[in-house]
Structure 1
Amino acid sequence: MILSPAMNAEELQIQLPHIQLAALRWGEPHKPVILALHGWLDNARSFEPLAYHWHDYLADYQLIAIDWPGHGLSQHRPGAYPLHWVDYLYDLEVLFEHLSNKYTIAALLGHSLGGIVASAYTATFAKRVQRLILIEAISPLYEQANQSTKRLRKSFTGHRGYLDKMNQPSAVYDNVSVAVKARHRLTKLAEPWCQIIVERNMRPNGDGVSWCSDPRLKLDSPMRLTFEQVDSLMQHIETPTLLITATDGLSYLQQDIPQALNWFQNIEQHTLAGDHHLHMENSQGVMGVMSHFLTGKS
């Protein structure tokens, strides 16, 4: 599949009280919204392969995919403080309220980090979310309580290094393809899909290009929940939920599926061929199960 730049998507700027988000829209603006939330270090264009099939499967909806703060074309969070995943919950809360004043939000669609945030938001405000679609994500990440000291020390050490380097000029690459190949080597994601993501996360810099994503995104979070906290949050979620995992995706997700079946009272689960970014490399397969979940058609 060869995709044209941004697949004729409409660029949106969404001004929230605390930050401005960039977004892409596919489909007609009067139709109900599928609100898409991308993964860590990705951006709105990671949903472009799904949008390629949108008219064939979900023409009765529009797809709005945001760039999280610090990703893509969205603003960075102010200041130089460490970041925490809970920050995204606040973003989603304000964004959801903002969009609900204009549109009917038919479903939340989240991949990886986006799915983590969407699941926690749904657990907290279940009556607001009509339907939930999780791709390679189930719940907030958790770890044993005895890891807290080690995590805090590592986070503070990384942030200290960030502060020491924050005024240094950004690294300049000759062209985007250098960064595309680097991401491919690191993640094993096929180069065409890396290209889609990397292009939106870079900006011109002199005779070359530099990353425009917030460097704090690569630092360890200072705190992670325990299983007991996550288990308490995720109990008895009645929102109709579609969980899609990959045959070659995050291995712990397969182990957590029984737990998901306990947390979500109305869940449909599919494992499809692909890796962690299966919504890109197996976009038609993902669209098929999404269509069946949302419309009853495959």
Structure 2
Amino acid sequence: MNKEIRCEAITLSLPQIELAGISYGDATKPILLCLHGWLDNLNSFIPLVNELSLQGILSHYQIICIDWPGHGLSAHRPGIYPLHWVDYIYDLHATIAQLKLRNSSVSIIGHSLGGIIASAYNAAFANSIDKLVLIEALVPMFESEQNIRSRLVKGIEAQSRFARKQLSQSAKTVDINTAVSARHQLTKLDKPWCELITERNLRSTEVGFVWRSDPRLKLDSLYRLSFSQVEQLMNATGTPSLLVLGTDGYKQLKSLPPKAKRWFNDLKTVLLEGDHHLHMGSAEQVATQIRAFILN
């Protein structure tokens, strides 16, 4: 991290949950809120924040990165109830409301899940954010309506097995190197980036490291929108938006930009060398695109 960056750990005490975060730069400047992806945490934005700082963005904005509930240092949702992606929209709504007590100008950079949540929020609450940057994300995930019954049944059965297991087992210790290697093999993300993310998702105990992240995050959702529902939700927002895709990112995302013309009135799309986490591995190029867009 650039040593000249002024940063501090922050806590956002929302009505429903407590979130951990880090703030970079001058707290009086407009806010650039960074939202990470599924099973990641705010550490995934460190390479991008560093590059944005080097390119002078902190002369114009403060950057705030948060851990979603169940990720990093943020609190978990209570009990062993199933998790629902739409709950993150409520978290984002409460977060923005709290941040606007400091500064009325909030723009968002969202990666993967963070981008999906930001996109859905922006569609539902027009004019709530100034600008939107989506990295390897566009709209909520959707599937055929024919899957609704089977998804619900399989999801409930998986949740029930999980609940029985949680009640009968204590947390298992984790070897950091093994965890980093496993994430590298699964995601193909470079090991230094895997280590950066993994270290914030672990906590030290007397017997070793255990996962901080909520194990329910790995369970399938009980419900997913249909394409027609996504169409109704998006319904063309006028918020200036930038979509950043990686050449080796998720293939299905590359087929959606033509449809996005119906969902966004002001959308610029760029394709850069990189994978799904290109804001880490190609941080300089991504920062250059974001800086030009944000300061336009």
Q: TM-score, normalised by structure 1?
A: 0.95
Deviations 1:105-144 (A, max 9, x none): 3311110000000000000111111111100001011111
Could you tell me which amino acid in structure 2 is paired with residue 42 of structure 1?
Answer: D
Superposition map of 1:1-298 within 5 A: 3=1, 9-57=7-55, 58-59=57-58, 60-167=60-167, 168-174=169-175, 176-296=176-296
Give the CA deviation at 1:205: 2.3
Deviations 1:30-53 (A, max 9, x none): 111101110000001110001112
- 8 Å Cα contact 1:43-1:67 kept in structure 2: yes
Deviations 1:131-190 (A, max 9, x none): 11100001011111000111112211211111111131111124x222111111111100
Q: How many residues align?
A: 292
Q: Greater shift after overlay, 185-194 or 56-65?
A: 56-65
Distance 1:257 1:41 in 2: 25
Change (3 A) 1:8 1:182: farther
Unaligned runs of 5+ in 2: none
Q: SS in structure 2 opposite 1:94?
A: helix
Give the CA deviation at 1:8: 6.7
Give the CA deviation at 1:104: 3.2
Could you tell me which amino acid in structure 1 is paired with residue 248 of structure 2?
Answer: D
- 8 Å Cα contact 2:261-2:267 kept in structure 1: yes
Distance 1:56 1:31 in 2: 17
- 8 Å Cα contact 1:35-1:105 kept in structure 2: no
Distance 1:155 1:170 in 2: 23
Could you tell me which amino acid in structure 1 is paired with residue 208 of structure 2?
Answer: G
Give the CA deviation at 1:261: 2.3
Deviations 1:58-104 (A, max 9, x none): 12111101100000000000121101100001111111111111123
What is the aligned-residue RMSD (CA, Å)? 1.5
- 8 Å Cα contact 1:110-1:116 kept in structure 2: yes
Q: TM-score, normalised by structure 2?
A: 0.95
- 8 Å Cα contact 2:67-2:73 kept in structure 1: yes
Unaligned runs of 5+ in 1: none
Q: Which runs of 4+ in 1 moved over 6 A?
A: none
Percent of pairs with identical residues: 46
Could you tell me which amino acid in structure 1 is paired with residue 291 of structure 2?
Answer: S
